[in-house]
Amino acid sequence: MNYRPLADTGIEVSDVTLGCWPIAGLTSPGVNEADSLATVAACFELGVNHLDTAYMYGRDGESERLVRRAIGERRDEMTIATKGGLHWDQATDEAQHDARPETLRRECEESLRRLGTDRVELYYLHAPDKNVPVAESAGELRRLLDAGKTRAVGASNLNVEQLEQFTAECPLAAFQPPYNILLRDIEEDTLPWCRERGVAVLVYWPLMKGILGGKLRLDQDFSGDSRAKYPQYQGDEYRRNLELVERMREIAARTGHTVAQLSVRWILDQSGITSAICGARRPDQIRDTAAASDWQLDDRDRADFEQAIAERGTAAAKRLF
């Protein structure tokens, strides 16, 4: 496993981060506690030293509580990121925004209790709240930073204007957007903005919620599946994406790697990217994606992959937030 600096914080994070949303069990069928604990525990053997969770990952903080149990006395071997400003509403069974300063402080304190620690390495504003100026939320995160509740501050799902407002009130070490070969809008604005300022970029959805993992079928049934709302999973877009995956399968096989590893490797090779956040609910899933850190595409395979991506086009690469 390779490691990269988290901006100028002195913290280093692994190329591949474990995304701890799936172990909360909210949208992943078949999740069980034993697999969830084993998935987090597998990170030690793999060299994955960064765990990404959030206050709202679970109806009652299941993800953070499982992280605490899985790492046990080895807390200091891990860098932990969590997020505030979103919570799971029990009445509506939906995510609700609340990024008021008092809420962020309360959620941070509760996250620390769930995680069994006195600080995290990285605390994010999970998403902007249309009812709260970004600067107000950032000001509270600055106070949490000054109080030692977190070693660094990040923001997720902001646009450039919001990032400017945020950094006027608080030092920004990390930005977390969605990014993959089908969803590349950050290349237009936020990624260059972060590169110019030395902000680490840790991206989620590297497999576009599974389609770039190479295991979905054209006749896949997405009824009752939240993925059905995304353009990448609809109609002709879905068919074209699976055609791209088949070309990826040929390239991956030639290199002795999996489609998922090829997807993650491409992300890690993009300028300005610090880490790919790969969700997993079983140990075999994080073992698969973690292996993307330890190899490089040769010139031929990289050229073939870039050609396949270019021929697919970017019709589905639309901003989702």
Amino acid 314: pLDDT: 63
State the pLDDT at residue 316. Answer: 45
Q: What is residue 222's predicted lDDT score, i.e. its pLDDT?
A: 84
* pLDDT per position as a tens digit, 9-41: 999 999 999 999 999 988 766 789 999 999 999
Buried b (16+ CB within 10 A) or exposed e, 74-105: eeeebbbbbbbbbbbeeeeeeeebbbbbebbb
Crossing angle of the two packed helices 101-115 and 62-71, in degrees rounded to 10: 40
* Type and span of the H or E element at 52: strand 50-52
Annotated catalytic, 57?
Answer: yes
What domains, with CATH codes, occur in the chain?
Answer: 3-215+258-295 (3.20.20.100)
Question: Could you say which of 55, 57, 124, 179 is catalytic?
Answer: 57
pTM: 0.95
Low-confidence residues in the chain, pLDDT < 50? 316-317, 319-321
Interval 289-307: pLDDT, tens: 999 999 999 999 999 999 9
Q: Phi/psi at 276 (nearest 5 deg)?
A: -105, 125
pLDDT of residue 226: 83
